[in-house]
Amino acid sequence: MKPDITRPSVLRELLGRHGFTLKKQLGQNFLIDSHALDSIVDAADIHADTSVIEIGPGAGVLTTRLAERAARVLAVEKDDSLRPVLEEVLSGTDNVTLLFADALEVSLEDWVGQHWGEVKRLVVAANLPYYITTPLLFHILESNLPVSDMVILVQKEVADRLLAKPGGKDYGVLTVMAQWRAEVQRVVNVSANCFLPPPTVESSVVRLAVRSQPPYPLQREAALRKVVRAAFGMRRKTLDNALAGGLSLSKSAVTHLLACAQIDGKRRGETLDLQEFARLANAFVENGV
């Protein structure tokens, strides 16, 4: 039987034996809680036909569990000094490929196309380094990878933003753009003492079920990004002023666009829901803005 690396003493011994020291700047807070690990694997609904991309395998504690259920796992780790640790933990596991690279820089799409070809079902699972959560989320969601679900452990505050509703303080650009791409659900909250070393913040596992179709008709996603950024850019201003300032447009042009979208310009940007943002973006495109 393999040593249980969710036990802090076992994990410390393993890392120490390979001369590995934890790097705070890479967000190296390793999970040592079986319940949290199982919740990620269960929420990802992994079967024998599922291919998994794991970002940041660390010492391989989640990787091992993913590999037990999945057809195959690609584990992308930036820190090359984890190589001997991962090779030891994954010895005897033949369906894991280790790729030592920065997940934000490597083209996962090219990698999957070249090495796996057609995939039946692809999911992303990760205990994410918090410093890359948002860019990584969009690196995956905006790629052409055929990902059906992402199950990720993130800072609780980020989970709150991903799940926010219009009008609340957490509702922002991240909320709208993530909910546009996926249906978001909180799986479980995870306390700081489930990690070695414990981070200074609480965490949550969230599942993003990637939409196969946009939730509302939209002519151009770039226009949506533009209006959403502008609408949230000046939170204390009314929507008409925020759009005029953020997009360098005249007030009369903005008034016309808002009328086309049937949205009251005296509202605040953060009260608009996904459908209203889509209408506004379409009005921009139709008016050639």
CA distance 133 to 32: 20
Residue 60 labelled as part of a binding site: no
Preceding peptide of 3 cis, ω within 30°: no
CB-based contact 90:67 (threshold 8 Å): yes
Compute how many other C-beta atoms are within 10 angstroms of the C-beta atom of residue 274.
19
Instruction: Encode burial over 11-45: b for 16+ CB neighbours within 10 A, e otherwise.
Output: beebbeebebeeeeebbbbbbbbeebbebbbebbe
Count of positions on this chain that bind ligand SAM (CB under 6 A) = 22
Pick the binder of ligand SAM from 67, 76, 90, 274 (CB under 6 A): 76
Q: Closest approach of Cβ 3 to ligand SAM, in Å?
A: 15
Residue 77 labelled as part of a binding site: yes
Q: Closest approach of Cβ 28 to ligand SAM, in Å?
A: 5
Using the rule CB under 6 A, give the single segment among 58-66, 214-222, 226-234, 270-278 that binds ligand SAM. Answer: 58-66
- Check binding of 66 to ligand SAM (CB under 6 A): no
Specify the residue, 26 or 253, whose C-beta has the smaller distance to ligand SAM: 26
Angle at 202 between CA 165 and CA 73, to 5 degrees: 90
- Check binding of 57 to ligand SAM (CB under 6 A): yes
Nearest to 226 by CA among 181, 289, 164, 165: 289
Using the rule CB under 6 A, give the single segment among 49-57, 230-238, 242-250, 272-280 that binds ligand SAM. Answer: 49-57
Compute how many other C-beta atoms are within 10 angstroms of the C-beta atom of residue 103.
23
- Check binding of 79 to ligand SAM (CB under 6 A): yes
Q: Which residue is nearest to ligand SAM (CB)?
A: 56
CA distance 106 to 98: 13
Compute how many other C-beta atoms are within 10 angstroms of the C-beta atom of residue 122.
19
- Check binding of 269 to ligand SAM (CB under 6 A): no
Specify the residue, 51 or 63, whose C-beta has the smaller distance to ligand SAM: 63
- Check binding of 55 to ligand SAM (CB under 6 A): yes
Residue 127 labelled as part of a binding site: yes
CA distance 42 to 188: 11
CA distance 79 to 217: 42
Specify the residue, 85 or 254, whose C-beta has the smaller distance to ligand SAM: 85
- Check binding of 164 to ligand SAM (CB under 6 A): no
Catalog residues that contact ligand SAM under the rule CB under 6 A: 26-31, 55-58, 61-62, 76-79, 102-104, 127, 129, 132
Binding-site residue set for S-adenosyl-L-methionine: 29, 31, 56, 77, 102, 127
